[in-house]
Chains A and B, each alone.
Chain A
Amino acid sequence: MNPQSMSKNSLPATLLLVVAVVALAAIPLLLNPGSEFGGADAAAEEAITEVRPEYEPWFEPLWAPPGSETESLLFALQAGLGCGVIGYFFGLKRGERKNKS
C-alpha cells in the first residue's frame, strides 16, 4: 500500500481509533461507579509498608503543590504546552505542503 492511498482512505479508521481511546477511558468510569479514580500516592506507601513496615522515606520532595487543585493546574499546563508544540508542528507541516502545491 502506498502512502497516498493510505492517507486518503484512513479517515474512518482514524475516527474509529479515536473512539476506541475515548471508550478505553470511559468504560472504566461506568464499570466502577463507586470509585474516585484517585491519585495513588498513598497506596504505594501502603504496599511498601506492607512488605517492610519499618521503612521511612529518607527524602522529601523539595516542593509539592499545596493541593489537588494546583496539582491539576500543573498537569493541565503540562498537557497544554505539549499539545501546543504538537499543534505547531503539524500546522507548520500543513502550511509547507500547501505552499508546495
Chain B
Amino acid sequence: MFGKRARSIGLALIVFLLGAQVVWAKPPQMHIMEGFLPVEWALLWFALALPFWALGLRRITVLTREKPELRLMLGLVAAFVFVLSALKLPSVTGSSSHPTGTGLGAILFGPLVMSVLGSIVLLFQALLIAHGGLTTLGANAFSMAIVGPFVAYGIWKLLKGRLPTALTVFLAAACADLFTYVVTSAQLALAFPDSSGGFVASFVKFGGIFAVTQIPLAISEGILTVLVFKALQTSASAELKTLGLTPGA
C-alpha cells in the first residue's frame, strides 16, 4: 500500500542523517552553553522552571520530615544523576554525549523531587566545570530536570503492572534521556529559528544531530537504571515499600 512511500521516506531520512553527520561531525553537547540563549529566552525558561523548583523543594521538605528513613535513598538518586552526567560516553556518530540519570529518581520519588536534584547537578556543572551555564540553567533544568523526569514518571505510571518491571524501568529511563534532548533541540530551535524554514527546519536540524548520537546512550541509561533498580529490590525493599513500590510487583 504505502511501501514505496515509506521506503522513500526512510531513504530520505537516512540520507538526511548521514548528511547531518557530515556537516556536524561533533554534535552540540546536551546542555546549552553559557550565554548561548538570547536573554529573553533564558528568562522565559527560568520563569517556567521556577514553579517546579518551588513545588519540588516543598515536596522534599515534607518527604524528609515525614519519612526521614528515605533521606539516604534521596542521596542515592542524586548521586546517580551526579555519576551519569559525568560519563561522557562515545556514541555511534563518532562523538560523545552523556546520559542524565533522572529516570531512577523520578520513578522512586516522583518528578518534582528530581526537578530540584537534577538542577543542583546542573548548577554544580555550570559553576565548576563550565558545562552548561548559569544563564542557560533555567532552560537546561527544564529539559533535564523537569521534562525528562515527567516523561519517566508518566511512562512508569502508564506501563507499571502491564509490562515486566525491568522493562518498564528501562523504557521510562531511556525515554527520559531521549526527551531531554528533544526539548533541548526545541529550545535551540525556538531561539534560533531557521531564516527560511523557521522553527521546524531548525528543530529538524538540531534534533537530527541529537537523535542518532543519543539513542545508544539512552539505551545505556535504561540498562544502568534497571541494574540499580534491581539492586534496590534486593537491598532496599523496605524503602521501596515505604514509597509504595513493592518489589517485583
What is A's interface to B at a CB cutoff of 8 Å? 1-3, 6-7, 10, 14, 17-18, 20-21, 24-25, 27-29, 31-32, 34-35, 37-48, 51-52, 55, 57-65, 71, 74-76, 78-79, 81-86, 89-90, 92-94, 97
Given contacts A6-B248, A74-B128, contact A82 B96 (CB under 8 A): no
Q: What is the size, in residues, of chain B's interface with A at 8 Å between Cβ atoms?
A: 73
> Is B76 touching A86 in the complex (CB atoms < 8 A)?
yes
Interface of A, secondary structure class, is helix
The 20 listed contacts between A and B (C-beta, < 8 Å) are: A20-B223, A28-B216, A29-B90, A32-B90, A40-B27, A40-B96, A43-B25, A47-B24, A48-B188, A51-B192, A51-B194, A57-B36, A59-B135, A60-B34, A71-B129, A78-B124, A82-B81, A82-B82, A85-B78, A89-B75
Residues of B within 8 A of A62 (CB): 127, 134
Residue B13 CB within 8 A of the other chain: no
Which of B82, B92, B230 is close to A78, meaning CB atoms less than 8 Å apart?
B82
Residue B54 CB within 8 A of the other chain: no
Q: How many A-B residue pairs have CB under 8 A?
A: 187
> Is A44 touching B29 in the complex (CB atoms < 8 A)?
yes
Q: Which of B2-10, B143-151, B152-160, B202-210 contacts A (4 or more CB under 8 A)?
A: B202-210
Given contacts A17-B226, A39-B29, A94-B235, contact A58 B83 (CB under 8 A): no
